[in-house]
Structure 1
């Protein structure tokens, strides 16, 4: 009696499928559909094949990228100037840029840096700016303002001649620069034996990719445009005054660069004391010509009499990869998927840029990751399908049943691909993670459908009621219609669990949406196609095993 009371209070009345308040209307709707599908089973299968085939072109229309943008909540603004910028010019430019960025209502504060920090891990030249823009919470933004709109507005507003813009995020930029050396979404590496020719080819590539749709900015490193002040010692003049080359170089070092003469101790900290000329005495070549060098007899000799002073251009830095000299072209891409952009950029560069013998190009940045991921997915996806096939075969011990269950895979791909296309999502690692997870969900729902059809078929056989097409039709209707509620519950739980992700917001939401979108679309179409197509395929397969069909074949 305790069990009955507990069930009555906690569980309630257990209804049969025919009288259940949820199952009854669902069965009433689904029953005529199944009868229609079984009547036109070949037409149903043909329609399913047409739908799957019609989805194939949509898949090829999807763009491709390595990963969707991970919104870190901050922006890294990285313009790059031509070599030769002075500290004074760099300070003025970065202060002006910071003031312009701070005028946007969405910006909380701005911190910019020009050149390298006091660390060997940051070998940035003085013409490379890094400005971290911290944004306010999105609830404080202007109405209708989004991340992409804000970046586009900033890019239009902040335009400095000779300083192309690159907009990215701090953490992602650091990892990309450490891994590939490229500080933009896409980079082109020019390999060759001569830096002058590498610079010429890089500038041609910069002009070529600037015409490609989706290019926000393109900048080729100036491999030979560094400015240097050379002191060429006149050995005859030095010897005439009784000096050595080292004496002149010591004066140049101490007067211009500074010489450490002592050390100051501040608690546990120690600082070198450097002495050099005041800025006005070393700020231009004419002042440097008047720097005095003391001879052994005490005479003060102007530096201009002992050395030729002049400017020259040489490489500001030298890059070496794979045993070859290399120059970079940084390309910032916006409003377009990376895969199709690189395809068009390669075509344009191939048409407009002629590479000399001994020179080659390499496409790097996130495109390099995309190529590696694509090659790995060509192995992972078929291997995943093989594992699922083996597990299903172990469960069913029938190749035919296993193949019927795996038909859910192309059925689910229909909804996954169409939903990605409607949401304007590109294929990426996140999308493929969702698709691989969808394979397991497909197998689960397919097993449920086939299980109930097999149970009904076996029950009718046990009762001796599997002698004609009408008996097979009744068994399929019983297995499909009267077991609709558990199938609906399984799919609904997964669907309801994934759907809220599409309305998520904040850091990481874009990645999670790409994972959830193919699963949501695939679950819906896979379930619908299983309800409609599985009964038709099962009827075609089992009809050949009917006694009447066997007798007809023997006759």
Structure 2
């Protein structure tokens, strides 16, 4: 069958070339439209249920919100893990689904169960779903700066101007604000005046609510014109608030709100702050990529929106990026693309050197890019993006892809050598291709089949390695197809002119001269050869036993993430002071480009961090600007030593790696110990003991036990 296919291709050269051009066009289109990212998205399908319960302590939130929601969501179909976190005034419930579950199907199922669970919650508490973003969706972070603007003004610009513009960018799921002050109208009542006028406290909120509304009436017709009736009642400032009528005195004099309260415009309570370069607090924003969106295109859309927004910003206000994943994507793809080009050039050079016939070498060289484009067509069809793993699969396949063409060409050269002078070569070339074509085709398919076990991997392992297996399979399958269709046609076109016999190639002669004594020696002593091979295999046992294990190799993202924690109960003011001190120390290192620190959480369901947890993004300069001998490991160690502050436990990672670790384990490090039990006090004691023991394990850089207790309360009984 393969022989007939080779003969058919040789007879229909134009048809084969047209089909190849069509495949090449499809491959180029797929290459242009394939999503780009640094790593495949390793996150599980996850739905976040976010609930606010203003003013309530964590234990109250746990008992009245988190526990009822978590127990109700345990029954959601295909949910494998339900995690609940209770912080001051907010609850987070993470529902993690089985591998392969569609995100929007999962969100609809969670909504169905929330309809039932919401009935068990306190009045006025409404759970909401988090954004349809993956756990590694934080692709772009920025700060809004203005020299003559207060933090409250900058936060208003971020919330009401910048955020709404960026949320319209294609691929963006949410834009979260962090830092600064959210302005609000504050009514500070005087209890003695309330008592004197006989006004209950709930009357204040009822009166404000009733006075802050527009109402509509019917229409009337006057002088052939229709007029719509409306009552204007929205409150537009502190003066309007002060004029709200609470009651009338016995003499008919109205009691107004400003008679019993002080009204002011002030900041809302803060649960998150942002700081930059140790220079003081700033207002920041975080853009989250929608699940499945192209990260590079999404970031490009965000930058386009920011450029369009520039003319509309107030004077002196500008937006500065502090984390841009497109830089990492660009570096990773550029490095791998350069490696692929270098590998292709080496393969081409080897073909020319061993064949000593440039036109024959073109047969093998031309099949390489076409095979790669076929792989990209398969990637696009299955929705696989270009990243380190998928392009790595193509890099692995390049050598084997060209091997079939080289063997077929060498066999063709042998057949041509045996021809008489002037005898036509066409039949000999087809015979040469038919002779080895079937074996080459099936040998490539055997390599494809060898990767089938990779497709059986599940969860994070599958999401990490399947792109590599798919692209290698597509490339090898494309190479196998080309070896029995395009290669015979190209041989008929390019294998012309004088063919140098193999024994006259100086490189081949040297290699054969070296090879023959070796093969002769091992054949004369087969037992000794097998024993030496067995000893070599046994000698690897000790070094293999000393090797460590890691889920995936460390990726130098070019950006560090510093994540220290302190004990619970840290005030926002002290957190801001500590954050500024840490950022100033980090910025003093000459290798650092910029520092953006966040203490507490941003206004997004994807960030459950308490005030005592800090996340500092450290953008590094190019390594060419670093002092001689400096490495990222050494830099991290020096920073860690400089940042050893009392009561602070340091942790170092990188942004993408941190998100992957938190998704996999529910904590911020790749290794953790979970302690279960009914007594919170005993759990904390045991966790502290574990922390002390783990600190002494070789290789541990930091260990910290999450404190379940330790918050400070003023209790009224």
- Please give the range of the TM-score, normalised by the shorter of the 2 chains: 0.5 to 0.7
Q: Helix, strand or coil for the counterpart of 1:186? A: strand
Q: Of residues 113, 138, 156 in structure 1, which corresponds to 2:85?
A: 113
Residue of structure 2 in register with 1:431 after alignment: 390
Give the superposition deviation at 1:473.
Answer: 0.9
Gaps of 5+ in 1: 1-24, 116-125, 139-143, 177-183, 230-307, 547-555
Q: Does 1:165 align with 2:130?
A: yes
Q: Of residues 225, 243, 251 in structure 1, which corresponds to 2:182?
A: 225
Q: Distance in 1 between matches of 2:108 and 2:166?
A: 19
Q: Does 1:530 align with 2:486?
A: no
The TM-score normalised by the length of structure 2 is 0.49
Q: Of residues 410, 425, 447 in structure 1, which corresponds to 2:369?
A: 410
Q: Does 1:508 align with 2:468?
A: no
Q: Distance in 1 between matches of 2:334 and 2:126?
A: 41
Query: Contact 1:202/1:221 (CA < 8 Å) preserved in 2?
Result: no
Q: Whose RCO is larger (CA < 8 A, sep 6+)?
A: 1
Residue of structure 2 in register with 1:208 after alignment: 165
Q: Does 1:87 align with 2:57?
A: yes
Give the superposition deviation at 1:430.
Answer: 2.0
Q: Distance in 2 between matches of 1:330 and 1:46?
A: 45
Q: Does 1:489 align with 2:429?
A: no
Give CA-to-partner distance per residue, 1:165-206, whole Å, 9 cap, x none.
Answer: 15778xxx6xx7xxxxxxx43333124255334423432333
Q: Does 1:371 align with 2:346?
A: no
* Structure 2 CA distance for partners of 1:187 and 1:544, relative to 1, 3 Å: same
Query: Contact 1:190/1:201 (CA < 8 Å) preserved in 2?
Result: no
Query: Contact 2:183/2:265 (CA < 8 Å) preserved in 1?
Result: no
Q: Of residues 40, 49, 73 in structure 2, which corresponds to 1:68?
A: 40
The TM-score normalised by the length of structure 1 is 0.61
Q: Distance in 2 between matches of 1:161 and 1:322?
A: 38
**Which residues of 2 match residues 429-468 of structure 1 at below 5 A?**
429-460=388-419, 465-468=420-423
Q: Does 1:342 align with 2:314?
A: no
Query: Contact 1:185/1:365 (CA < 8 Å) preserved in 2?
Result: no
Q: Helix, strand or coil for the counterpart of 1:219? A: strand
Query: Contact 2:48/2:129 (CA < 8 Å) preserved in 1?
Result: no
**Which residues of 2 match residues 94-243 of structure 1 at below 5 A?**
94-107=66-79, 110-115=82-87, 126=88, 130-133=92-95, 146=102, 149-151=105-107, 153-154=109-110, 165-166=130-131, 184-193=137-146, 195-203=151-159, 204-225=161-182
Gaps of 5+ in 2: 116-124, 187-261, 500-717
Give the superposition deviation at 1:36.
Answer: 0.2
Q: Distance in 2 between matches of 1:331 and 1:500?
A: 34
Query: Contact 1:98/1:111 (CA < 8 Å) preserved in 2?
Result: yes
Q: Does 1:321 align with 2:276?
A: yes
Q: Distance in 1 between matches of 2:5 and 2:128?
A: 65
Q: Does 1:384 align with 2:338?
A: no
Q: Report which stretch shifted further, 519-528 or 159-168.
A: 159-168
* Structure 2 CA distance for partners of 1:371 and 1:63, relative to 1, 3 Å: same
Query: Contact 1:71/1:508 (CA < 8 Å) preserved in 2?
Result: no
Give the superposition deviation at 1:360.
Answer: 2.5
Give the superposition deviation at 1:46.
Answer: 5.5
Give the superposition deviation at 1:487.
Answer: 0.6
Q: Distance in 2 between matches of 1:56 and 1:156?
A: 44
Q: Of residues 279, 284, 308 in structure 2, which corresponds to 1:351?
A: 308
Q: Helix, strand or coil for the counterpart of 1:426? A: coil
Give the superposition deviation at 1:406.
Answer: 1.8
Q: Distance in 1 between matches of 2:477 and 2:368?
A: 12
Q: Does 1:30 align with 2:5?
A: yes
* Structure 2 CA distance for partners of 1:128 and 1:377, relative to 1, 3 Å: farther
* Structure 2 CA distance for partners of 1:440 and 1:500, relative to 1, 3 Å: same
Query: Contact 1:198/1:327 (CA < 8 Å) preserved in 2?
Result: no
Give CA-to-partner distance per residue, 1:270-319, whole Å, 9 cap, x none.
Answer: xxxxxxxxxxxxxxxxxxxxxxxxxxxxxxxxxxxxxx9x9952765543
Q: Report which stretch shifted further, 512-521 or 86-95.
A: 86-95
* Structure 2 CA distance for partners of 1:168 and 1:224, relative to 1, 3 Å: same
* Structure 2 CA distance for partners of 1:317 and 1:538, relative to 1, 3 Å: same
Query: Contact 1:62/1:427 (CA < 8 Å) preserved in 2?
Result: yes
Q: Of residues 405, 428, 434 in structure 2, which corresponds to 1:475?
A: 428
Query: Contact 1:78/1:167 (CA < 8 Å) preserved in 2?
Result: no
Give the superposition deviation at 1:47.
Answer: 4.9
* Structure 2 CA distance for partners of 1:225 and 1:531, relative to 1, 3 Å: same
Give the superposition deviation at 1:220.
Answer: 1.8
Count of residue pairs the alignment pairs up: 405
Query: Contact 1:406/1:442 (CA < 8 Å) preserved in 2?
Result: no
Give the superposition deviation at 1:416.
Answer: 1.0
* Structure 2 CA distance for partners of 1:406 and 1:103, relative to 1, 3 Å: same
Q: Helix, strand or coil for the counterpart of 2:459? A: coil
Q: Distance in 2 between matches of 1:394 and 1:127?
A: 72
Give the superposition deviation at 1:442.
Answer: 1.8
Give the superposition deviation at 1:100.
Answer: 4.5
Residue of structure 2 in register with 1:53 after alignment: 25
Q: Does 1:333 align with 2:286?
A: no
Q: Distance in 2 between matches of 1:367 and 1:101?
A: 36
Query: Contact 2:73/2:110 (CA < 8 Å) preserved in 1?
Result: yes
Residue of structure 2 in register with 1:292 after alignment: none
Q: Report which stretch shifted further, 418-427 or 211-220.
A: 211-220
Q: Distance in 2 between matches of 1:108 and 1:218?
A: 29
Aligned-residue Cα RMSD (Å) equals 4.1
Q: Helix, strand or coil for the counterpart of 1:441? A: helix
* Structure 2 CA distance for partners of 1:540 and 1:187, relative to 1, 3 Å: closer
